[in-house]
Amino acid sequence: MHSIQHLIKIALEEDIGSGDITTENLIADNLKGIGEVVAKEPLVIAGLDITRQVFEQLDTEISFKPNFKDGDFIEKDKIVLKVEGKLRVLLLGERTALNFLQRLSGIATHVRSYMNSIANKNVRLVDTRKTTPGWRVLEKYAVRVGGARNHRMGLYDGVLIKDNHIAVCGGIKNAMECIKDKLSHLVKIEVEVSDLDGVKQALEAGADVIMLDNMNIDRIKKAIELINGKSVVEISGGVTINSLNQLADTGADIISSGALTHSARCVDISMRIRSNNNNK
């Protein structure tokens, strides 16, 4: 997995390349300035520390002063943070810093709207692996900032027997028997099913978690009655903010939604840069 520092390095190299030919030919290296990052719309902020690291990779002496913390709701036109240092550094890092901040804040804002729609509901909302390649650790962090939880981080930290596994293994029972012999007794096993027959098979095989995939409300309710507390119940597939309340009222334990990450838009955040008074 890429470290955040590595991701920042790649992003800066992608943008700067062999050098910023505009800034280097307009701005003297000794000039200093101040950058103000402004929220251009109401949003939930996420990624402030990553923003700081972008500028610090360019210059460790940069001054970074946030006015909020990750998870705070920020009104339109509020100054999110101030960064002070060499003008060249501010201009070099501006776009990369904003790209991180806008994307992660967009996810956090999007997720917060989902969480607000099921306030006081006894259900856990989680994300999926439908994330931007290389950005998973960041996007899942933004999901937590927005108030939801993470499903497994990747293929390595959770067992989820999906439809293709079941097809290849010749059924749920075969798949479960095979994997139980190879796992520690401490590892839980989740099975994805799409109909009531699958629910019955997963129960008989001893699944710890049963994922009800792309089922309608009536079928979900019948499935939960069948499970009757014998397994943790997760609802997945086609979950939207409009369907959340109805799904939350079924009695399921978990609702997972890829839309938390793949359907979030970047929020509008800008950076105003000016020379400071010492340069006049």
Compute the Cα dihedral for 196, 124, 45, 86 and give only its sign.
negative
Catalytic residues: 130
CA angle 111, 114, 116 (to 5 degrees): 110
Q: Which of 54, 65, 58 is nearest to 95 (CA)?
A: 54
Gyration radius from the chain CA atoms: 23
Compute the Cα dihedral for 15, 19, 20, 22 and give only its sign.
negative
Alpha-carbon distance 126 to 147, whole Å?
Answer: 10
The tokens describing 207, both together, are 């699944």
Alpha-carbon distance 42 to 225, whole Å?
Answer: 42
Fill in the amino acid letter for 142: A
